[in-house]
Amino acid sequence: MTRFEDQLRAALQHEEPPAGFADRVLARAAEQDERRERSLWFQFRNMFAVHRLRWAAAAVAIVVVASGVGLRVEEQRRAEGEAAKRQVMLALRITGEKWQVVAKEISGKTDTRTDQSDRNTHPDRENQE
């Protein structure tokens, strides 16, 4: 064997721990657990860890309700927009029909006035001559 292997074997040989070693390790671990449990961060984190599923369910419920409300508002807004569009289209159709009626009346009166003005102007011309 090489010198390195001998050193490695010697370093890895099993040694018995000193007396009371296990008790000291367990006491130190318990002390660290107590310190950790007394810290505010641990208490805060532990409080939420206990009720984690409740918080998650509440968060999901809030998201679902908010989404539903948002969709309902958008649906209502779209319905109001469509109703306004129908009203505008109706108003434009009515206005177009009224314009046609007025245009017919104006063109009819213009023709009548032209005929009357022609009649009126001829006798005047004769009177002036």
30 has a pLDDT exceeding 70: yes
The mean pLDDT of 17-25, rounded to a whole number, is 88
Q: Which residue has the higher pLDDT, 10 or 71?
A: 71
Q: DSSP readout, the chain?
A: --HHHHHHHHHTS--PPPTTHHHHHHHHHHHHHHHHHHSHHHHHHHHHHHTHHHHHHHHHHHHHHHHHHHHHHHHHHHHHHHHHHHHHHHHHHHHHHHHHHHHHHHHHHHHHHHHHHHHHHHHHHHHH-
Q: Which residue has the higher pLDDT, 90 or 47?
A: 90
> CB of 55 within 8 A of CB of 48?
yes
120 has a pLDDT exceeding 60: no
Average pLDDT, the chain: 82
- pLDDT at residue 125 in the model: 47
83 has a pLDDT exceeding 50: yes
The mean pLDDT of 37-49, rounded to a whole number, is 70
10 has a pLDDT exceeding 70: yes
- pLDDT at residue 118 in the model: 54
Place of tokens 């001559």: 129
Per mean pLDDT, which of 29-38, 39-48, 92-101, 107-116 is the most reliable? 92-101
Query: Who contacts 37 (Cβ-Cβ below 8 Å, separation ≥6)?
Result: 43
SS3 labels along 82-98: HHHHHHHHHHHHHHHHH
Place of tokens 């927009």: 81
pTM for the predicted model, two decimal places: 0.40
